[in-house]
Every structure is written in C-alpha cells, then in structure tokens.
C-alpha cells in the first residue's frame, strides 16, 4: 500500500513515464485511458494496474535519476552524470544551504532539493521570468518546491544570502560575478561551475587567479553505455560525447597575512595525506 502524498512513477506499455504525488481521489488521464489513483495506492510499488481500456501500467518508486530525466526543459539541463560529481564535490547533504546561479529548467535544482531535505535550503537565482516559472512547475510536479527559494533576479546585483555551504554557477559568464562570492559563501566553502567550452574555462581560471580561490580542479565526465545483450556485449553505437566542463575550487578565508599569501589558483596539486 502506498501512502497518500508519496511520489509515484507510472510507466505505460510504450515506456512513457507519468509522475504523480498520490491523491487517492485523483484520476490520471492517459492516451491509454483513465487510471484510478486509489487502485495505484492499493497495488503498491512494483505492481501493475490497468486503465479503463485494460492497458497495463507499472507502478514504480522513482529514483532521482528518473526525476531529472523527467524535467520539462526549455534550456539545456545538467546531465545526471555531471550532477552526481557536482553533489559530491559541493558536499551537498541533508541540512545544506546552497546557492545555485542559473536555475534554468531546474535539472540541478531537483537534485540539490532532493539531497538537502526538509531542513536544508536551496536559493536558486534565475533572471528570466519564464524559466523561473518553469523551474517552479517542475519542482511542484514532484513535491520538492518547499525546499527551494526561487529568486527571479539577475545575479549581477549579488546574492542576498551569507555563509551558505556551497555555491554553483551554471551561467555563460560566471567570471563577471566572482566578486559576489566571498560575501555569500562560507570561508573554505566549495564552489563549482559548468561551462560548455574550453575558451570559457580559460577565461574563468584567469579571473579566479586574482581572487581568493584555491584547490582548483577542471574535468569532464564521459559515460559510455553498453548494449545489454549477453552474447554480443559491446558499447552502444552512439554516445553523448560532450556536455560541459566542470570546474571546482574552495573559497579562501580573508587573509590579513599579506606577506605570505595563500597559493593562487593553478599552483596547487591535489594531494591527500595518508
């Protein structure tokens, strides 16, 4: 039995996915006919329910991957492969407070809200009103909107928050806004960026050199899928070869010892003591 208010994914015979926050008196209208949510509740996860036209739908508990893939998009969204690493590098966990610059359709917002839980807070800045509305709609569809403060504002005027645990930029010219980071991010806090071209990465690294950032990292993540056929196991013919470059660093605390400044970006190699 699924409880009212729980999120379910209903998969049609052709693989189309519908997401619903369960309300027992609701009816889902699909191309295959009507589905009673009361029946879905009673059947439970993994079960099969039938529309009034006798078409079978499978009831699934969605994973975060499913939710990100379901985001209705009018902008490029960050791919799950990149989001996984971003979450780890930013240290996003239950209770975290995170600023996201460039909410777009809300792909990354969904993941941030998922991990920070009811006691965390995501502050998502988006300058376009239509994208802000779309992001809100995407979050409402899966019941995560209460964890996110959507701020329909250009980040050129800075951030209203102080001492957040992490900050992520997914905007075209993040170097224009670096001056606003120290007043918003906690000293030592992680900062991340996604940029689609190496030219942008170069400009960003140059801009960071003159600012209080350390421990830089630049990378890209490639995922190669395989055809799941046991007797002819080999890679798929096509792959998504490029999404974006990821850049991470740490914000230095204000340092009054100007005779011995912290190493600037580019001079440090990552080493962990054993």
Ligand X SMILES: C[S@@+](CC[C@H](N)C(=O)[O-])C[C@H]1O[C@@H](n2cnc3c(N)ncnc32)[C@H](O)[C@@H]1O
User: Considering only CA atoms, which of 184, 197, 168 is closest in space to residue 87?
Assistant: 168
How many residues bind to ligand X according to rule CB under 6 A? 21
- Taking the complex as a whole, the smallest distance from the CB of residue 78 to ligand X amounts, in Å, to 4
Helices (H) and strands (E) in the chain, counts: 7, 15
Identify the residue among 82, 145, 165, 170 touching ligand X (CB under 6 A).
170
- Taking the complex as a whole, the smallest distance from the CB of residue 228 to ligand X amounts, in Å, to 28
Q: Which is nearer to ligand X, 62 or 102 (CB)?
A: 102
- Taking the complex as a whole, the smallest distance from the CB of residue 167 to ligand X amounts, in Å, to 13
- Taking the complex as a whole, the smallest distance from the CB of residue 259 to ligand X amounts, in Å, to 37
In this structure, the number of other CB atoms found within 10 A of the CB of residue 253 comes to 13
3-state DSSP assignment of residue 144: coil
Identify the residue among 62, 104, 212, 216 touching ligand X (CB under 6 A).
104
90: buried, middle or exposed (CB in 10 Å: 19+, 13-18, 0-12)? Answer: buried
Return the range that interacts with ligand X (CB under 6 A); candidates 1-9, 47-55, 149-157, 208-216.
149-157
DSSP, res 259: T
Identify the residue among 76, 161, 264, 268 touching ligand X (CB under 6 A).
76
Beta strand pairing call for 166-169 and 190-195? parallel
HSE of 190, CA atoms in CB hemisphere, 13 A: 17
Structure-block tokens of residue 95: 């209770």
Q: Which is nearer to ligand X, 118 or 176 (CB)?
A: 176
180 touches ligand X (CB under 6 A): no
DSSP, res 18: E
DSSP, res 264: P
Return the range that interacts with ligand X (CB under 6 A); candidates 55-63, 112-120, 126-134, 211-219.
126-134
Per DSSP, the residues of 169-216 read E-SS-GGGGGGGHHHHBPTT-EEEEEESSHHHHHHHHHHHHTTTEEEE
Beta pairing partners, 99: 123, 167
Q: Which is nearer to ligand X, 2 or 195 (CB)?
A: 195
112 touches ligand X (CB under 6 A): no
161 touches ligand X (CB under 6 A): no
- Taking the complex as a whole, the smallest distance from the CB of residue 29 to ligand X amounts, in Å, to 28
- Taking the complex as a whole, the smallest distance from the CB of residue 37 to ligand X amounts, in Å, to 29
Q: Which is nearer to ligand X, 23 or 173 (CB)?
A: 173
At 11, which helix (H) or strand (E)? Answer: strand 7-11
Q: Which is nearer to ligand X, 51 or 104 (CB)?
A: 104
41 touches ligand X (CB under 6 A): no
Q: Which is nearer to ligand X, 129 or 257 (CB)?
A: 129
Q: Which is nearer to ligand X, 10 or 150 (CB)?
A: 150
């Amino acid at each position: 039995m699924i409880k009212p208010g729980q999120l379910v994914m209903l998969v049609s015979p052709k693989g189309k996915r519908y997401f619903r926050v369960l309300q027992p008196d609701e009816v889902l209208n699909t191309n295959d006919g009507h589905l009673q949510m009361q029946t879905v509740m009673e059947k439970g996860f993994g079960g099969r329910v039938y529309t009034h036209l006798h078409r079978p739908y499978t009831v699934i508990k969605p994973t975060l991957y499913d939710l990100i893939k379901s985001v209705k998009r009018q902008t490029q969204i960050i791919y799950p492969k990149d989001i996984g690493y971003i979450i780890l590098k930013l240290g996003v966990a239950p209770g975290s407070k995170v600023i996201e610059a460039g909410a777009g359709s809300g792909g990354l917002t969904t993941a941030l809200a998922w991990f920070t839980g009811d006691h965390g807070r995501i502050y998502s800045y988006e300058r376009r009103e239509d994208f802000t509305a779309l992001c809100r709609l995407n979050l409402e569809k899966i019941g995560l909107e209460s964890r996110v403060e959507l701020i329909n504002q250009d980040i050129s005027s800075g951030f209203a928050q102080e001492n957040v645990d992490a900050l992520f930029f997914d905007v075209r010219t993040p170097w224009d806004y670096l001056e606003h980071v120290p007043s918003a991010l906690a000293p030592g806090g992680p900062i991340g960026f996604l940029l689609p071209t190496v030219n942008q990465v170069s400009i960003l690294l140059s801009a960071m050199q003159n600012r209080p950032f350390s421990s830089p990292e630049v990378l890209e993540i490639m995922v190669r899928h395989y055809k799941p056929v046991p007797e002819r196991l080999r890679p798929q013919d096509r792959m998504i070869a490029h999404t974006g470059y990821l850049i991470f660093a740490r914000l230095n605390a204000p340092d009054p010892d100007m005779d011995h400044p912290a190493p600037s970006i580019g001079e440090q190699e990552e080493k962990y003591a054993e």
